[in-house]
Amino acid sequence: MATSSPDLDSLRLFIKVAELGNISLAASAVGLSQPSVSRSLRALEECLQAPLFHRTGRGVRLTEVGEQALLRARALVESADQFASDIRDQAQAPSGVVTVALLTAYMRAVGPDLFEEVRRRFPGVVLRLLESFSVQHEDWLGTGRVDIALVTRYRKPSRDGQEVLAVSDLVVVGNPAIGGGGDTIPFRELASVPLVLPAAPNGLRVRVEEVARRLGIRLNVVLEADSVEAQRAIIARDRCYAMWSQHSVRQAGADTLFASRRIVEPRLPRYVVMQTTTHHPLSRASREVARILRRLVLAAHAHTA
């Protein structure tokens, strides 16, 4: 005998009850009576031919089957919501507010071009640009405050939703040139170099301290400064050195002002990653802006390669 499939409303109720662990609370949250929610759950269990909850005196808790069903139900509901959003978006031109978080260097390099192209191609889209550090961008993505963000990584990202746009090795940069010249410097030699580095939990600082511990050396950090502009001002005046990526040096025109040597043994790559929020489905407007941002960042790196 053929069995019917559960409808989305039943799955939404199931998810709400699972999240709250109480049928009465779930009923109140969705504006239904407790008996109607209970009937919906029983009908869902009959449809799936499996018990989804253990009923207790204090509420309900998921069975082992219910745990698996919850994962699938969430995926189905999210997919249906995305489907509806996609179709609505396709029926009209992209519109709405899209919030993008850019790192300082990219705000200068691609921010104006991003604004200009979005305004020209999608006049119904309002672009909101924020600027901070990678750690802050991660927080904003997690809470849904931003739709798209650029972040830096010092290990190759492996999670979904993290698209690597560019890779560039770290260099030590300043004046005068360090040591006897050459294009590279072994990491161990940094123990004798006065360094200007960002404070932890900055990803670069965490990574270089980790390498230093592994090699059994202590870095000579004479100043902590998160701002690249502050670092640049300090190394221009005093005999101390910053760690930037090769791309950042060229992008800021610092290769004409400072000497730099690429760090080796080990080599330390910096990854520029574009991420999108998982807090809510991306609108068509956000996806269009992400496509433009991707192309502009790739072009910026190709231009300074």
Q: Are 133 and 226 in contact (CB under 8 A)?
A: yes
Whether a cis peptide bond, with omega within 30° of 0, leads into 176 is: yes
Q: 15: number of CA atoms within 13 Å, CB side?
A: 16
What pLDDT, on the 0 to 100 scale, is given for residue 254?
66
What pLDDT, on the 0 to 100 scale, is given for residue 181?
62
Distances (CA, A) of 63 to 54, 60, 74, 143, 251: 6, 9, 16, 30, 56
CA angle 87/89/94 to nearest 5° reads 165
Other CB atoms within 10 A of residue 183 CB: 9
Q: Could you tell me what percent of the chain has a pLDDT over 90?
A: 56
Phi/psi region, residue 90 (left: phi>0; alpha: psi -120 to 50; beta: rest), is alpha
What pLDDT, on the 0 to 100 scale, is given for residue 1?
40
Q: Where are the alpha helices (DSSP H) in 91-151?
A: 104-121, 134-143
Q: Which among 7, 29, 6 is positioned nearest to 17, based on CA atoms?
A: 29
What pLDDT, on the 0 to 100 scale, is given for residue 17?
93
What does the alpha-carbon distance between residue 260 and residue 120 come to, in Å, rounded to a whole number?
40
SS3 assignment, position 100 = strand
What pLDDT, on the 0 to 100 scale, is given for residue 140?
94
Confidence band of 258 (pLDDT split at 50, 70, 90):
confident
SS3 assignment, position 162 = strand
What pLDDT, on the 0 to 100 scale, is given for residue 305?
54
- Render pLDDT for 20-68 as a digit per residue (tens, 0 to 9): 999 999 999 989 999 999 999 999 999 999 999 998 888 899 999 999 9
Fold of 96-305: D-Maltodextrin-Binding Protein; domain 2 (3.40.190)
Q: Could you tell me what percent of the chain has a pLDDT over 70?
A: 93
Q: Which of 58-69 are b and which e, b meaning 16 or more Cβ less than 10 Å from the residue's Cβ?
A: ebbebeeebeeb
- Render pLDDT for 214-239 as a digit per residue (tens, 0 to 9): 999 999 999 998 888 888 888 888 88
Pairing mode, strands 259-264 and 184-186: parallel
pTM tops 0.85, yes or no: no
- Specify burial of residue 124 (Cβ count, 10 A radius: 0-12, 13-18, 19+): exposed
Average pLDDT over the chain, rounded to an integer = 87
What does the alpha-carbon distance between residue 235 and residue 239 come to, in Å, rounded to a whole number?
6
What pLDDT, on the 0 to 100 scale, is given for residue 33?
92
Highest mean pLDDT among 117-121, 231-235, 242-246, 278-282: 117-121
Confidence band of 2 (pLDDT split at 50, 70, 90):
very low
What pLDDT, on the 0 to 100 scale, is given for residue 216?
94
What pLDDT, on the 0 to 100 scale, is given for residue 253?
67
Please name the residues in contact with 199: beta carbons below 8 A apart, sequence gap of 6 or more: 205, 224, 226
Average pLDDT score over residue span 69-84: 89
Architecture of domain 8-90 in CATH?
Orthogonal Bundle (1.10)
What pLDDT, on the 0 to 100 scale, is given for residue 303?
60
Other CB atoms within 10 A of residue 159 CB: 7
Q: Give the domain ranges of the chain.
A: 8-90, 96-305
